[in-house]
Amino acid sequence: MIELPHFPADDLDPARSDGDLCIQACANDPQVAVHAVRNLARIAFGSASVRWSQLGFGRTSSTSAEQQTPRNLFGFKDGTANLKSEERDALDDHVWVGRGDDPGARWMAGGSYLVARRISMHIETWDRTSLQEQEAILGRDKGEGAPLSGGREHTAPDFDARGRHADGSPGGPLIATDAHVRLAHPSGNGGVRLLRRGYNFTDGSTGLGRLDAGLFFIAYVRDPQSQYVPMQNKLSRSDPMMEYIVHTGSGLFAVPPGVADEGGFVGEGLFS
């Protein structure tokens, strides 16, 4: 088991964190995914048991150029700048573990690391926030998903663009210095990128009668210590979005490469 550090804004529930094995089952019908997990748990009876699980729906990022960008439960497009399957060179740089990355874990070459975070959203509080403030927090407009510096959804944000006051004098940056899109952008994080594959979730209501809902964040990275941890530390310290969310579950898992030869099995390199 690999553990992520505890970030400043975390309120992690141990019952929804960590674990030794990770199963991600995906299907167009949730009944199919639940049945698959149930069968795997049944086969493992006596050797392993389910520590925690999370049922998600939809998706919160596009992973192909052919897909439209979905929206999260705050109503904004999510994952606009996500890595796409067509970006083979970028996947090699940011997702797949290289042969020389870790001499002590050569079996991980060609695999990846999965970061899972259960992020609860304070949706009722967010809904009472003005549209202008919501867009300023994200750094993108709500309708198109375009950066506030101008353009369309996939236009690169211009972090140097500045507005003007009514008298024509120079104003502040169009994208706030603490906007989410600026803090999470590769240009401010050593050029690193993530392959996100997360989902929305709703788990009924809390004891206060509010929605127990949010984002089940899943990302695949080549090196979590250099890609995910520094960025999440920055977001925890400076992102105004933290007023509206709290991380309640966490896990970090090694994902071995696929099966190379007939008769092989996942994780074969670890046991050979």
Q: At 1, is the pLDDT very low, low, confident or very high (cuts 50, 70, 90)?
A: low
Q: What is the pLDDT of residues 24-61, one digit of tens each?
A: 999 999 999 999 999 999 999 999 999 999 999 998 99
> In the predicted model, is pLDDT for residue 164 greater than 90?
no
Report residue 45: phi and psi, to 5°. -55, 130
- What pLDDT score does 4 carry? 85
How confident is the model at residue 171, as a pLDDT?
A: 85
Angstrom distance (rounded) from CA 159 to CA 176: 8
Please list, residue by residue across 35-59, b when 16 or more beta carbons sit within 10 angstroms of its beta carbon and e when fewer do: eeeeeeeeeeeeeeeeeeeeebeeb
Longest dimension (CA), the chain: 74
Question: Would you say the C-alpha torsion 222, 72, 155, 178 has a positive or negative sign?
Answer: negative
Mean pLDDT (the chain) is 93
Query: Residue 216 in contact with residue 118, Cβ under 8 Å?
Result: yes
Least confidently predicted of 193-202, 211-220, 258-267: 258-267
Confidence of residue 272 (pLDDT cuts 50, 70, 90): confident
User: What are the backbone angles phi and psi of residue 228, rounded to the nearest 5°?
Assistant: -90, -45
For 65-86, what is each residue's pLDDT tens digit? 899 999 999 999 998 999 999 9
Strand residues in the chain grouped as ranges (E): 112-121, 162-164, 170-173, 195-196, 199-205, 211-221, 245-255
Report the SS3 class of residue 119. strand
pLDDT over 70 at 243, yes or no:
yes
Q: Does position 9 have pLDDT exceeding 80, yes or no?
A: no
pLDDT at 2: 64
pTM as predicted? 0.92
